Amino acid sequence: MFFTEKVDNRSVKEVNHSLILRYIKIDGPISRIDLANKIGLNPSTISRAIKTLENLNLVTELSIGESQGGRRPVLLGLDNNKYHIVGVDIGATKITAVVVDLAGKVKIEYQYEIKSMQNGIIDLSMEDVNKCISKVINDFSKKTNDKKIIGIGVGLHGMVDKDQGISIFAPNFGWRNVEIADLIENKFNLNTVVDNDVRAMALGEYWFGAAQNIHNFITLNIGYGIGSGIMIDGRLYRGSHSMAGEVGHTTVDEDGPYCNCGNYGCLEVLASGPAIAKEARKLIKRGRKSIISELVDNDLNKIDGETVFEAAEKDDLLSQQVFQRAGSYLGIGISNMVNIIDPELLILGGGVSNAQEYLIDNLKGVLKHKVLGELPDIKTAKLSQYAGAVGASVLIMEKIYHKPYSFINNIKSRGC
């Protein structure tokens, strides 16, 4: 259930350490002899590797297992509480920063609401991002004494070059070629990895959420914008130019409204949170009755996706119909992906997914009509509001699992 890098320049010992960590995560608690049988290494090699991983504070003895005819075996598990990671989800309306342990459990969180906008561009600086990271690290330090933070993972919308740590283009923020990883790493002296926010969300669901042990799935984030993370055969697919998953900018209505990307009828301008608010506003201006007007004190400019959802929850017919329309457009966009990729599972996340009750029937109806083969299961993101931030922390966990000895010793050499 783990992503494997294309280029593998590890030593035999590092490969063995990595395999042991992965099998313990999947099958633990597990004995040394069972590890040896699963991996195909002799018991003495396993014992030496386990000793190294124990010294690195990554593996620990948990309990005594049942006897299979001889001595009762010692069962091993991951030592999830010695190290912690900061995960940061930079969204269009808020930044969510968390500190998690190596089991993906959120220990502390902080949310920063983004409210300033100029000419349609959200006013967000790297200083704002660093303040959020500082806040969550300081709060965690006050709460604990000796538990270390060993890295920072960041999920960000738009085109991201993960290998270089650069935001190539984040249209909501007006960012181009921002060297995010270096800016954060230099500030906090912590290993930093940056990737697209929905790809990070997909990683989080794969490691700790709704997609554990499922190797072909699509995660969709439906909120201020619409994006997807694609997992194929256990590998997160990024594409040749870091653009894979931009389903929000696929055409679902050639005669549809103009999109900021320069095209017309994109899924994002028909089914995202702002699109839902815009449709509700348009219908009310045309004379349709709705309790939305009361909710915003007749100031229609205050309508957002959350307002429409609140009204739908109060049995407002117009609001429910707006979500049903969005569900139909989502079905068109998603059916194209399903016919190309043939996933086992679809995971829906983001603010709009909270309104599944009102859009899911139309979405499924379109899928049944347009998908050629068997329909995938559809689930809500298990990690909920933390899916993006916990997923971002997995960007660091991947490095630990790939080269545990090198990564932890590098942390120690930094004095972290």
In whole angstroms, give the CA distance from residue 399 to residue 258: 41
* pLDDT for the residue numbered 171: 79
β-sheet bridge partners, residue 156: 90, 196
* pLDDT for the residue numbered 3: 45
* pLDDT for the residue numbered 337: 96
User: Tell me: the pLDDT tens digits for 222-236?
Assistant: 998 899 999 999 999
* pLDDT for the residue numbered 174: 83
Q: What is the 3-state secondary structure (H, E, C) of 152-210?
A: EEEEECCEEECCCCEEEEECCCCEEEECHHHHHHHHHCCCEEEEEHHHHHHHHHHHHCC
Q: Where are the domains of the chain?
A: 12-78, 83-207+386-414, 213-381
Q: Cis bond leading into 73, ω under 30°?
A: no
Contact predicate 118/109, CB 8 Å: no
Assigned token pair, 329: 């457009």
Q: Which amino acid is at 372?
A: L
pLDDT bracket for residue 5 (50, 70, 90): very low
- Strands of the 226-232 sheet, one edge to the other: 235-237, 226-232, 217-222, 345-349, 377-380
* pLDDT for the residue numbered 252: 95
Assigned token pair, 230: 């694609």
User: Tell me: the pLDDT tens digits for 239-281?
Assistant: 888 888 999 999 999 999 999 888 999 999 999 999 999 999 9
Q: Is the pLDDT higher at 283 or at 113?
A: 283
Mean pLDDT of 133-154: 89
Percent of the chain whose predicted confidence (pLDDT) is above 90:
71
In whole angstroms, give the CA distance from residue 100 to residue 83: 9
* Within this chain, domains 12-78 and 213-381 share the same CATH topology: no
Helix axis angle, 43-55 to 32-39, nearest 10°: 110
Contact predicate 246/230, CB 8 Å: no
User: Tell me: the pLDDT tens digits for 369-414?
Assistant: 999 989 999 999 999 889 999 999 999 999 999 999 999 988 776 6
User: Tell me: the pLDDT tens digits for 102-134?
Assistant: 999 999 999 998 876 666 677 788 999 999 999
Contact predicate 288/303, CB 8 Å: no
358-385 b/e (C-beta count within 10 Å ≥ 16 → b): bbbebbeebbeeebeeeebebbbbbbeb
Q: Which CATH class is domain 12-78?
A: mainly alpha
Does the pLDDT value for residue 65 go beyond 80?
no
pLDDT bracket for residue 73 (50, 70, 90): confident
The CA radius of gyration of the chain, in Å to the nearest whole number, is 23
Per CATH, domain 83-207+386-414 is 3.40.50.720: no
Torsion-angle region of 382 (φ positive above 0: left; ψ -120 to 50: alpha; else: beta): alpha
Contact predicate 272/248, CB 8 Å: yes
Coarse DSSP helix, strand, coil percentages of the chain, rounded to the nearest 5 percent: 45, 25, 30
pTM: 0.89
Does the pLDDT value for residue 27 go beyond 80?
yes
Assigned token pair, 145: 């004494």
**What contacts 24+ positions apart, CB below 8 Å, involve 120-129?**
120/260, 121/172, 121/173, 121/174, 122/92, 122/172, 122/173, 122/174, 124/90, 124/173, 126/178, 126/180, 126/183, 126/184, 128/95, 129/88, 129/90, 129/95, 129/154, 129/180, 129/184
Q: What is the dihedral of CA 57, 89, 190, 128, to 10 degrees?
A: -150
Q: Give the chain's largest Cα–Cα span.
A: 80
- Please state which of the four CATH numbers 3.90.1150.30, 3.40.50.2020, 1.10.3720.10, 3.30.420.40 is assigned to the domain occupying 213-381: 3.30.420.40
Mean pLDDT, all residues of the chain:
90
Q: Is the pLDDT higher at 240 or at 366?
A: 366
* pLDDT for the residue numbered 305: 93
β-sheet bridge partners, residue 89: 96, 155
